Amino acid sequence: MEPVISFIFHVAILLMSVVIHEFAHGWMALQLGDPTAKNLGRLTLNPIKHLDPIGSFVVPLMIYISSGGSMTFGWAKPVPYNPYHLRDPRYGEAKVAVAGPAANLLVALVFGLILRFTASSGLISYELVQMFNTIVVLNIVLAVFNLLPLPPLDGSKILFAFLPNALGELRVFLERYGMILTILFIVFAFQWIYPLIFFIYRLIVGSS
């Protein structure tokens, strides 16, 4: 029964984190003049509006099992927005894109600072320490991973906003093969971002 409870615990934190991520995209789009997410009922923290059967349940379960219960990962349905409604046509998409990872880093910062100043003092229970630690790690992972410059990840929108016209062929290549490259990265190179994840974690929490 304990593995089942642990999985539910991890998935609940994951869902909370990806919902905040998607909400932030919709919120930023609204601030920039696009009400698409709001009109479709997606500008909400209600997880039911954001759940993706594969990314929110199947993939987290597979990763949890394959990692021996040490981690999980997944995603929610992307919040739609209309780039033509954004008041900033040059950098609007980049601003919407960066809002998701920024929201995850903000969540990691809040719970990480709580850990930094209370964990060793005994002011919060061991169970809360474990919960907050999982929240911090998962949100850092979501932020770092989504900032990779590969479509359909948020980092690609940021890259394309600053990419010179002379490198237009690179954008075409990434848009054509981005999904394949992202899957290959997850399977073969995900460990490359571990040092950055650990660095951000230590920076916030103050310990490994």
The predicted-structure confidence for 56-105, as pLDDT tens digits, reads as follows 888 888 888 887 777 788 889 999 999 999 999 899 999 999 999 999 99
**pLDDT bracket for residue 22 (50, 70, 90):** very high
pLDDT in tens, 96-155: 999 999 999 999 999 999 999 987 777 788 889 999 999 999 999 999 999 999 999 999
List, by residue number, the catalytic residues: 22
Check residues 148 and 3 and name the one with the higher pLDDT: 148
- The confidence score (pLDDT) of residue 137 equals 95
* 8 Å CB contact between 61 and 132: no
| pLDDT at residue 176 greater than cutoff 80 | yes
| 157 CB-side CA count, 13 A | 20
Please give the Cα distance from 136 to 107 (Å, whole number).
Answer: 7
DSSP state of 48: G
Burial class (CB in 10 A: 0-12, 13-18, 19+), 162: exposed
Between 187 and 161, residue with greater pLDDT: 161
The pTM of the full predicted model, rounded to 2 decimals, is 0.92
Does the pLDDT value for residue 1 go beyond 60? no
